[in-house]
Chains A and B, each alone.
Chain A
Amino acid sequence: MSKDAAEIDGKGYWRAVLRLTLSLLTIWFMVSFGAGILFRDVLDQVSIGGAPLGFWFAQNGSIYVFVALIFYYCVAMRRLERKFGVKG
């Protein structure tokens, strides 16, 4: 059920959104700038199939995680909207 604009705890909702956004952006940073560039040499010690892991993250792996992140965000946001009675 959606509530009237006046009844919605807009501030609480926004804080929850910011928390979610920040944690997802941390993952976004870690799989691309982190795994693909900064810690690439360390990860390359391990391989996935026949590819060094850091190199694979830079060319393929990070992209898969990006897709997953956006869809997770959609689901989590819908949950937040329901919890706070915001119209989605």
Chain B
Amino acid sequence: MSQEMWTYIFVAGTFAIYIGIAIWARAASTDDFYVAGHDVHPMVNGMATAADWMSAASFLSMAGLIAFMGYGGSVYLMGWTGGYVLLALLLAPFLREFGKFTVPDFVGDRYYSTTARMIAVICALFVSFTYIAGQMKGVGVAFSGFLGVEFNTGIYVGMGIVFVYAVLGGMKGITYTQVAQYCVLIFAYTVPAIFISLIITGNPIPQLGFISDVKGEDVSMLAKLNQVVTDLGFKEYTSTEKSMFDMFAITGALMFGTAGLPHVIIRFFTVSSAGAARVSAGWALVFIALLYTTAPAVAGFARLNFIDTVNESTYVESLDNYDAEAAAIVAAGGKPIPKWFKDWEKTGLLAVEDKNGDGRVQYRAGTDNEVTKLDRDIFVLANPSIANLPGWVIGLVVAGGLAAALSTAAGLLMVISSSISHDLCRRTLFKDMDDKTELRVARLAAAGAVVAAGFMGIYSAQLAFVAQVVAFAFGLAAASLFPVIFLGIFWKRMNREGAIASMLTGLVPTFAYIWHFKIGAGKAAGAADWFLGVSPEGIGFVFMFVSLAVGIAVSLATKAPPQDIQDLVEDIRVPGTRRSHGIADSGMAPVADHT
């Protein structure tokens, strides 16, 4: 059977599973729709959170990114896992104890302010739309690259699938599809990694292969990689061009941003108690770590293998007649370019140009480099072929990439839909709306958001901010959402005025800085003009401290929050003592009941 056939089978098969789950897990109430009825098992929620968290970028691009960046890529590894420690220790259990549906809900109720709620809604919507557009784009790329379907058609198919399980099932449907999606994506990621680790180091566990010697040689994999890349004029693999302060700032922005991202936080509203939220965060990180500790190993192996097999290899023109031509090259004592290289060349992810006309491929740093196109996604995608795995494994990897994109898109969709139906409609505009109507509005909002996200994916090339999702989403979550949530729990005295000032001083300058250096006038000047040498990816960390300081200063200069609010804060710190409090719960009783 052809590889494309296998890909079709895997993609169609997994999609059928997702739809089946959606029909089985239909939401009947707003509780079901927003928080899956508050009774998801902590480990199940952990697995769903891992799928929610790991996007198309984590799955397809991260290993390649690290392969090119070496030590500099560590910011993603530490940032996107370390945030879970902050989430488990500082936010998730307390927000669960607070017992509401959304992040703006917490902000609006804790700070007894519609203005604060609306600013939080704007943050959540902007962050989520930027993020979701990237996922839809990923779906389009996967379809157009592997199934011979047009980019736009691919996005329509993705929209259709997410539509079914998100609109029908809400958080409940999403939770159980995410569990299935996690299984697909982790299997698809680790199987090729195990085989490539065996080939390079002889150790089947990639995490151990990472720190082992190269198979049959007396030199460690990383030492050899350093040697090989410096010989070709690249920087040492275990070093970086980033300054120590910038590394520090980016890692910080990614960590605090992770903790402040609404689509991650709302997953912890689905478990039954604060204690369950803690355990669930632990499980989430276990499932995430499985992929995140494999990724740097894949990165190192892939880079080493790429140089080993491609550099100084003799180019083979035809793919159809590859075997005969390659055999002739071997007979003449040469090294033919590997077959997988030829396979992937036609996708446009790889390209070579014989600049010096010697018929061989030179991979170098600088202008002599003959590998003119080397897409970072190639390392994960080509892994199965590099490891000589059968064609169906590639189909599995494509299904895994789609699972990663769709699961993240669904989680984001929930944030968008609940921000609109719950925070904007039920809590602000139409306060007398009943549960049934709210559920209908939530479904409508989810449907509208799917369509909007799809179109943002289709026009992603024209929407400059979509490509800057890392800087925007994490920077804004770190600088504008994390400080108000954190202070709202850990500092009773924090009041409405402080919260509004804090969110705005985090949001506006971070947004302006990233826009200026990534899209606007400062793009050309780049690093030379950076404030304190901090890149746009790391600036959220700097403004987070500004936001915290402003929040505290403004709160101290203004009136203390009402007694009800201060009592409420004390209640959510001690599990099981949550009572109803007039101002904070007006319009809605707390959904948490401790009986």
Q: List chain A positions with a Cβ less than 8 A from chain B.
A: 2, 5, 8, 10, 13-14, 17, 21, 24-25, 28, 32-33, 36-38, 44, 47-52, 55-56, 58-60, 62-64, 66-67, 69-71, 73-74, 77-78, 81, 86-88
Residues of A within 8 A of B275 (CB): 74, 77-78, 81, 88
Q: Are A10 and B570 in contact (CB under 8 A)?
A: yes
Q: A49-B212, A50-B221 are in contact. Are A69 and B594 (CB under 8 A)?
A: no
> Which has the most chain B C-beta neighbours within 10 Å: A24, A25, A47, A58?
A58
Known: A50-B211, A63-B81. A73 touches B89 (CB 8 A): yes
7 contacts between A and B (CB under 8 A): A33-B251, A55-B74, A58-B71, A66-B84, A66-B285, A70-B282, A86-B577
B293 and A62 contacting across the interface, CB-CB below 8 Å? no
Asked if B244 is at the interface (CB within 8 A of a chain A CB), the reply is yes
Is there contact, CB below 8 Å, between A38 and B213? Answer: no
Nearest-CB residue, chain B, relative to A78: B275
Contact A71 B293 (CB under 8 A): no
**Bound Cα distance from A49 to B66, whole angstroms:** 20
Is B89 in contact with A25, judged by CB distance below 8 angstroms? yes
Which residues does chain B contribute within 8 Å of A28, judged by CB atoms? 82, 85-86
- C-beta contact mask, B216-242 vs A, less than 8 Å → 1, else 0? 000111110000000000000010000
- B interface residue count range (under 10 / 10 to 19 / 20 to 34 / 35 or more): 35 or more
Would you call B82 and A66 a contact (CB within 8 A)? yes
Instruction: Please provide the 5 A-B residue pairs with the shortest distance between their CB atoms, ordered closest to farther.
Output: A50-B220, A49-B211, A87-B576, A58-B74, A70-B282
Which chain B residue shows the least CB distance to A48? B211
Best-buried of A37, A48, A78 by chain B (most CB within 10 Å): A37
- Interface core residue of B85, B213, B252, B594 (most chain A CB under 10 Å): B85
Q: Is B369 positioned at the interface, with any CB of A under 8 Å from its CB?
A: no
Give Cα A37 to B252, complex, Å.
11
Contact in complex: A21, B89 (CB < 8 Å): yes
Contact, CB under 8 Å: A24 / B81: no
Contact: B220 with A49, CB < 8 Å? yes
Question: Cβ of B248 and Cβ of A74 under 8 Å apart?
Answer: no
Q: Which residues of A contact B273 (CB under 8 A)?
A: 88
State whether the Cβ of B573 lies closer than 8 Å to any Cβ in chain A: yes
Whether A86 pairs with B576 at a CB distance below 8 angstroms is: yes
A11: shortest Cβ distance to chain B, in Å?
Answer: 9
Cα distance, A87 to B570, chains bound together (Å): 15
B446 to chain A minimum Cβ distance, whole angstroms, is 31
- Give the shortest distance, in Å, between A2 (CB) and chain B (any CB): 7
Q: Is B100 an interface residue (CB 8 A)?
A: no
Given contacts A14-B573, A28-B85, A32-B251, contact A38 B244 (CB under 8 A): yes
> What sequence of 0s and 1s flags, for each residue 270-305 of chain B, a beta carbon within 8 Å of any chain A beta carbon?
000111001101100110010011001000000000
- Determine the distance from Cα of A51 to Cα of B221 in the docked complex, in whole angstroms: 8
Q: Closest CB of chain B to A36's CB: distance in Å?
A: 6
B586 → chain A closest CB, angstroms:
22
Residue among B71, B273, B274, B292 with max Cβ neighbours from chain A (10 Å): B71
Interface string of B470-494 (1 = CB under 8 A from A): 0000000000000000000000000
Check B74 against A70 for contact (C-beta < 8 Å).
no
